[in-house]
């Protein structure tokens, strides 16, 4: 993989006259009404002052039952991934990540002059030297499938990385977080974000949980005040509105079941996702994606995810009206592949 690789232009901003954006995984319900109320009432004095990060950190600590020294805030998960690579990687270090996982894992590692190796779904990998960093998305990117904590422990034991980074971007869909393990070890970092279920993507706020020693090293590298006061207050309001989170998870479950059934009836193989994304596995992906773009529909080509063993495309779940409109456009696009086998011959989700 080239060091200066460019991320494919697949998001809705690249689709002219875009009418249906199924690419970016945002919350169709918006954000918590408690957050909106807070935003309307924030004072000029609060905005003109420097952010009080400890306020949000305390709320995170209460939710995850960790100490304040175990938490660091970031300007989105992307900034924390970059920070981790800048802090812990030296040139020619080896970084291990799953085939088809979040592209910024490998991109930021390469920008730090590290070597990137990939493992497959069975945990098989080849690295000529020891692994400095392991990046693992859980739930997985882009399929939305998840590992339990025992399976993650087993993977770490087999890979033997010096530091493991578990990206729980969609962690609210999980029954358990690996953060309970992270604070009991000295070499695990868990990433979380407010962008997905909490609906705060526009405010760019995320956090990492880990042992005191590892978080302290990240804080030494990070610039001061990584998140704004608005983001801090919104994060506090969001994390305390448990009902909104529950409603969001139920909403996505209902729409996920609807879309999965509809797509399977059309002959597609669909990932067993537990999140707000679905991966549609099809041998006709290239043609369908091209036709969808002509219809002003944005999806994410499976090729966007490095070394992805699956052929197809990812969609993000929207509200029922948008999901139905997408299906109508998909039916139109499928006219170009009528009579052809939609399923790849060897790929298994």
CATH fold of the domain at 33-240 = 3.40.640
- Chain-centre distance for alpha carbon 113: 23
Which phi and psi (to 5°) does residue 183 adopt? -80, -10
Q: Which residue has the tokens 């996702």?
A: 273
151 CB-side CA count, 13 A: 14
CA–CA distance, 218 with 53 (Å, rounded to integer): 15
- Distance in angstroms (rounded) separating the CA atoms of residues 125 and 116: 11
DSSP 83: H
State whether residue 310 is helix, strand or coil: coil
118 neighbors 307 (Cβ within 8 angstroms): yes
The answer to whether residue 326 scores a pLDDT higher than 80 is yes
Determine the Cα–Cα distance for residues 172 and 194; give it in Å rounded to an integer: 10
**Strand blocks (E) in 180-331:** 188-193, 206-210, 269-270, 277-281, 297-298, 300-301, 312-316
* Beta-strand relationship, 94-98 and 115-119: parallel
Q: Copy the structure tokens of residue 314.
A: 């990812």
The DSSP 8-state label assigned to residue 348 in this structure reads: -
The pLDDT value recorded for residue 8 is: 45
Q: What is the mean pLDDT of residues 100-124?
A: 89
According to CATH, the topology of domain 12-29+243-337 is: 3.90.1150
Answer whether residue 11 shows pLDDT above 70.
Answer: no
| Element (DSSP H or E) covering residue 261 | helix 242-265
pTM, rounded to two decimals: 0.91
The rounded mean pLDDT for the chain is: 91
Is residue 278 within 8 A of residue 271, CB to CB? The reply is yes
pLDDT in tens, 223-271: 999 999 999 999 999 999 999 999 999 999 999 999 999 999 999 999 9
Helices 320-334, 242-265: crossing angle, 10 deg rounding: 20
Measured distance CA(232)–CA(251) in Å, rounded = 26
pLDDT for the residue 130: 84
* pLDDT value of position 164: 98
Q: How far apart are CA 316 and CA 170, in angstroms?
A: 12
Q: Note if the bond before 139 is cis, omega within 30 degrees.
A: yes
All structural domains of the chain with their residue ranges: 12-29+243-337, 33-240
Q: How far apart are CA 299 and CA 24, in angstroms?
A: 8
pLDDT at residue number 337: 78
């Amino acid at each position: 993989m080239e060091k200066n690789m460019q991320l494919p232009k697949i998001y809705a901003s690249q689709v002219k006259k875009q009418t249906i954006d199924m690419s970016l995984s945002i919350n169709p319900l918006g954000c918590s009404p408690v957050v909106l109320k807070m935003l309307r009432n924030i004072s000029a004095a609060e905005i003109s002052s420097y952010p009080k990060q400890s306020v949000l950190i305390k709320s995170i600590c209460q939710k995850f039952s960790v100490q304040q020294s175990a938490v660091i805030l970031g300007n989105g998960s992307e900034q924390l991934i970059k920070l981790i690579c800048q802090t812990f990687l030296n040139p020619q270090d080896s970084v291990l990540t799953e085939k088809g996982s979040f592209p910024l894992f490998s991109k930021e590692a390469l920008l730090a002059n590290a070597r990137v190796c990939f493992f497959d779904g069975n945990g098989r990998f080849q690295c000529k030297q020891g692994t400095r960093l392991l990046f693992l998305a859980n739930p997985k990117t882009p399929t939305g499938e998840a590992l339990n904590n025992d399976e993650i422990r087993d993977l770490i034991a087999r890979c033997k990385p010096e530091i493991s980074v578990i990206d729980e971007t969609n962690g609210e869909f999980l029954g358990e977080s690996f953060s309970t393990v992270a604070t009991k070890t000295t070499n695990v970092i868990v990433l979380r974000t407010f962008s997905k279920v909490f609906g705060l993507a526009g405010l760019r706020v995320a956090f990492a949980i880990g042992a005191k020693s590892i978080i302290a090293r990240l804080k030494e590298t990070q610039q001061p005040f990584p998140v704004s006061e608005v983001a801090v207050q919104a994060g506090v309001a969001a994390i305390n509105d448990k009902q909104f989170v529950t409603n969001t998870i139920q909403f996505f479950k209902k729409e996920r079941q609807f879309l999965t059934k509809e797509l399977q009836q059309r002959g597609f193989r669909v990932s067993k996702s537990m999140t707000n994304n679905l991966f549609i596995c099809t041998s006709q992906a290239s043609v369908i994606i091209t036709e969808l773009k002509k219809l002003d529909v944005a999806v994410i080509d499976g090729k966007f995810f490095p070394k992805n063993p699956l052929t197809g495309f990812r969609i993000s779940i929207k509200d029922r009206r948008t999901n139905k409109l997408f299906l109508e456009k998909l039916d139109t696009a499928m006219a170009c592949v009528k009579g052809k086998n939609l399923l790849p011959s060897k790929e298994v989700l």
